[in-house]
Amino acid sequence: MKPVHSTPCVLCETVVSFVVKNFYHKVHKGFTKGTRRRVDGRIFASGHFPILFKKCNYLVANPPPANRTFMNKQKAFLALALFLLGLAGVASILTMDIPLPPEAEAILKARYSPEEIKIVLLINPTIMLLIAVAVGVSLYDKVQFSVPALERLTGVTQTPPDWKGLLLYGALGGVLAGVLLSLIGLLFKPVLPAEFTELSEKLQPTLAARFLYGGMTEEIMMRFGFMTLVVWLFSKAFKGLRPAVYWTGIVVAAIVFALGHFPIAFQSVANPSPAFLAYILIGNSVGGVIFGWLYWKKGLESAFLAHLLAHVVMVLAGG
């Protein structure tokens, strides 16, 4: 509903101001001073404002549905859609041959067949995905993040996505990330230990795993789940959203993802050099910063696209 551009009457302006300040926000949870917005120079109340002022110039901006159960269902559909997308990525791990430490491999082979071992390996990422979706759906809109295409598809919003911005920035971000990661690989190649190179060849992900797990599942876990949580926590700590809060979330999520690769580095190399650890840290965080910025500015699907295209560039570059 668009605001009326005529001058509001003085009586209604006074009454509305009084009600908002002294009564209404005390009765309805969530109605605070922060929900009073200025549009075209006139203050009006957003939320469940009484229909009394409908015929005056105070209109409800983005009102929550009368039946909150309806919105909860839309959020549930969004969560289900994200979980299924992420689950497709988890399932793509089945297309890979994942080498295990000899001790773990001996224990698993004594109990399970090779096919069952692969399925067992899916349990951990599935649980992480479920937690990420639950956290993300609960908090993403509280910190002004978006999943524009899926929100429209599941009925969370009726606003059409900005497809041009989403696709354009996602494509540019993906190409930039792919080029940077390829250059980082070339730059550090002389210092990479032979053991790590050998392990990397054994762990070479399939295209399905690159595009589905890397392009979607990792973004749901690290951006939609973890980065959203970090931004929300820092917004509470600093009492508001500001660019520094978003950048903190972006950088923290990227570094945590990179640090998650350190166990593999120490497992494959007995005494990793500082240059090797720098490669692990930089190579696994640069892309995360780009994808995090896209999630912040253009929505989660833009980060999906960028991560997928980054893999395309790296595959074409031989990485």
The answer to whether 220 and 136 are in contact (CB under 8 A) is yes
Give the contacts of 278 (CB within 8 A, at least 6 positions apart).
188
Chain centroid to Cα 114, Å, comes to: 33
Q: What is the pLDDT at residue 102?
A: 66
- pLDDT of residue 318 exceeding 80: no
Distant-in-sequence, close-in-space partners of 49: CB < 8 Å, separation ≥ 6: 24, 58, 60, 63
**Position 9 pLDDT exceeds 50:** no
pLDDT band at 319 (very low <50, low <70, confident <90, very high): low
Q: Is the pLDDT of residue 116 over 80?
A: no
Q: Tell me the Ramachandran region of residue 62: left when phi exceeds 0, alpha when psi lies from -120 to 50, beta otherwise.
A: left
Q: Indicate if the pLDDT at residue 14 is higher than 70.
A: no
Domain residue ranges in the chain? 1-64, 68-316
Distance of alpha carbon 216 from its chain centroid, rounded?
10
Span 247-263, pLDDT tens digits: 999 999 999 999 988 88
Indicate if the pLDDT at residue 4 is higher than 50.
Answer: no
Whether 37 has a pLDDT exceeding 60, the answer reads no
> Stretch 217-236: mean pLDDT, rounded?
96
pLDDT of residue 110: 73
Distance between the two ends of the chain, CA-based, in angstroms? Answer: 51
Q: Is the pLDDT of residue 51 over 70?
A: no
